[in-house]
C-alpha cells in the first residue's frame, strides 16, 4: 500500500487499512480542515517516521479509532512550527497505539487539542508528550491541551 498524504484539503477522510514499509509517514496531513482519520490499521514496523502525522495549519480534524503498531517516531503526532499556522481543534481519541519508537501521542505546538480514551502500550518514550520546543526548528507554544483517561 502507498502512504496517504493530504495537503490543503477540505472535508477529507483518510483510510489506510494495512500499511508498512514506508520510507516516511503512513498518513500525513498538512494545512487541512474538517478531516476524519478513522478506522485505520497502520502496521508501521518499518516506517522511518510517524505512522500518523498532522502538520502545521490543520484544524477541526478528528483522529479516532485507529490501530497503530510500531513506527520510527511517535505513533500520532501533531506539530506546528514557528512561522507556520498553528494546528487547532484536533480530537485524538479511542486509538490503540502499540510499541511506538518515541511517544504514543505528541502535541508539539498546537491549541485546543483533546486527547482522550487512547490505549497506549510500551512506548519507548512517554505515553503522551505535550511541549513547545526551542529547536531548531522551533515550534509554536502548546496551549489549551486536554488529556483524559
Cα end-to-end span (Å), the chain: 33
Decide if 58 contacts 85 (C-beta within 8 A).
Answer: no
pLDDT in tens, 33-44: 898 998 888 876
Q: Burial level of 85, CB count in 10 A (0-12/13-18/19+)?
A: middle
Of residues 7 and 62, which shows the higher confidence score? 62
Q: What is the rounded average pLDDT of the residues 130-134?
A: 95
Q: Report the pLDDT value the prediction gives residue 85, as an integer from 0 to 100.
A: 94
Of residues 71 and 109, which shows the higher confidence score? 109
Query: Mean pLDDT in the chain?
Result: 85
Of residues 90 and 47, which shows the higher confidence score? 90
* Residue-range domain boundaries for the chain: 4-148
Count of C-beta atoms within a 10 Å radius of residue 52: 29
> Which long-range contacts does 1-6 make (Cβ < 8 Å, 24+ apart)?
3/27, 3/28, 4/28, 5/29, 6/30, 6/32, 6/35
Q: Rounded to two decimals, what is the model's pTM?
A: 0.86
Distance of CA 29 to the CA centre of its chain: 9
Amino acid at each position: 500500500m502507498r502512504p496517504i498524504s493530504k495537503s490543503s484539503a477540505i472535508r477529507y477522510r483518510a483510510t489506510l487499512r494495512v500499511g508498512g514499509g514506508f520510507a516516511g509517514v503512513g498518513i500525513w496531513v498538512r494545512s487541512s480542515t474538517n478531516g476524519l482519520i478513522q478506522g485505520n490499521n497502520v502496521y508501521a514496523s518499518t516506517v522511518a517516521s510517524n505512522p500518523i502525522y498532522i502538520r502545521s495549519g490543520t484544524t477541526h480534524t478528528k483522529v479516532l479509532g485507529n490501530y497503530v503498531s510500531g513506527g520510527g517516531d511517535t505513533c500520532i503526532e501533531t506539530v506546528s512550527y514557528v512561522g507556520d499556522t498553528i494546528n487547532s481543534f484536533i480530537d485524538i481519541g479511542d486509538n490503540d497505539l502499540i510499541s511506538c519508537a518515541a511517544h504514543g501521542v505528541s502535541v508539539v505546538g498546537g491549541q485546543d487539542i483533546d486527547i482522550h480514551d487512547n490505549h497506549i502500550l510500551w512506548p519507548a518514550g512517554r505515553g503522551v508528550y505535550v511541549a513547545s520546543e526551542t529547536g531548531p526548528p522551533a515550534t509554536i507554544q502548546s496551549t489549551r491541551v486536554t488529556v483524559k483517561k
